[in-house]
A and B are shown apart, each in its own frame.
Chain A
Amino acid sequence: AQSVTQLGSHVSVSEGALVLLRCNYSSSVPPYLFWYVQYPNQGLQLLLKYTTGATLVKGINGFEAEFKKSETSFHLTKPSAHMSDAAEYFCAVSRGGFSGGYNKLIFGAGTRLAVHP
C-alpha cells in the first residue's frame, strides 16, 4: 500500500528565508509524486509533479522538489520565502497505471507554512 508522511504539520519561516517542506513516501511500484498548495478558502492547485525522467522538478512560484528514490523522499524547497507563500501544502503519491490507479492520489496530512516579516 502507498502512504505519504509529511514531517511537520506547521512550519514558520521569515520572509526571504529558505523554505523546506519534507515529504517521504512508501510505494511498492514506481511512484508519481505531486505537491499541491491550498490557499485559504480555495481548492488545491498543483505546484509541481514528478512522473519520470529528471529527478529535480521545477514548479510554479519558484518552488522545486527533488525525487530521491534511495531516500524515498520528495522534499519541496524555495530559496526565498515570500509572504504570499503562506498556505497549506500537500504531498501526494499515485500508483500509476491505466486502470484509474494513476488518478487515485494518496495525500499526506499537510504542512501549514507561515511566513513572517
Chain B
Amino acid sequence: EAQVTQNPRYLITVTGKKLTVTCSQNMNHEYMSWYRQDPGLGLRQIYYSMNVEVTDKGDVPEGYKVSRKEKRNFPLILESPSPNQTSLYFCASSLLGQGNTGELFFGEGSRLTVL
C-alpha cells in the first residue's frame, strides 16, 4: 500500500529535550516536505527536499532541522524544542518532473506537545 508513515503519532516532551520525528514514504517520490498545522493558520511549510542531499527552507524553518540521506526518509529534528513548537506536524511527498501536478500525499500527522 502506498503511504507516508510518520512516527511518533503523539509525543509530549519538555523544553530543550532534542527530538526527532521520522517520515518514510514507499512511493519513490523525489519531493518531500514538512508542514505544521495550527488552528486558524492552516498548514505552513517548514522545510522541503527535492531529492537526496537537497533540502531548503520553507516559510517557518526556525527551530527545525531536516536531513535527506535516503530517498525514502525525511526526518524532522527539533534540537531544542520550545512551547511555541507545540503543533500538529505533517510529512508529505510527491513526484517531480513532467506531468507532476503538485499533488501531495500526506502522512497521518504527529501531534507534539512541548511543556
Q: Which residue of B lies closest to A98 (CB)?
A: B97
> What residues on A are CB-neighbors of B100 within 8 Å?
98, 102-103
Q: Report the minimal beta-carbon distance from A99 to chain B, rounded to whole angstroms.
A: 8
Q: Is the CB of B108 within 8 A of A32?
A: no
User: Given that A42-B108, A100-B31, A103-B31 are known contacts, is A90 also in contact with B101, CB under 8 Å in the complex?
Assistant: no
A-B contact count (CB 8 A): 71
B28-51 to A contact mask, C-beta < 8 Å, 1/0: 000101010000111111001010
> What residues on A are CB-neighbors of B97 within 8 Å?
98
Whether A51 sits at the interface, judged by CB under 8 Å, is: yes
Number of interface residues of A (CB under 8 A): 26
Question: Of residues 86 to 117 in A, which have CB atoms within 8 Å of B's CB atoms?
Answer: 90, 94, 96, 98, 100, 102-105, 107-110
Q: Is the CB of A102 within 8 A of B109?
A: no
> What residues on A are CB-neighbors of B56 within 8 Å?
100
Q: Report the minimal beta-carbon distance from A65 to chain B, rounded to whole angstroms.
A: 15
User: Given that A42-B108, A96-B102 are known contacts, is A107 also in contact with B43, CB under 8 Å in the complex?
Assistant: yes
Q: Is the CB of A32 within 8 A of B101?
A: yes
Q: Which residue of B lies closest to A99 (CB)?
A: B50
Q: Is the CB of B109 within 8 A of A107?
A: no
A41–B90 CA distance with the chains assembled, in angstroms: 12
> What residues on A are CB-neighbors of B74 within 8 Å?
none
Q: Is the CB of A100 within 8 A of B101?
A: no
A49–B101 CA distance with the chains assembled, in angstroms: 9
User: Given that A32-B102, A44-B106 are known contacts, is A102 also in contact with B42, CB under 8 Å in the complex?
Assistant: no
B41-65 to A contact mask, C-beta < 8 Å, 1/0: 1111100101000001010000000
User: Given that A100-B50, A103-B48, A104-B45 are known contacts, is A43 also in contact with B106, CB under 8 Å in the complex?
Assistant: yes
Residues of A within 8 A of B (CB): 4, 9, 32, 34, 36, 41-46, 49, 51, 90, 94, 96, 98, 100, 102-105, 107-110
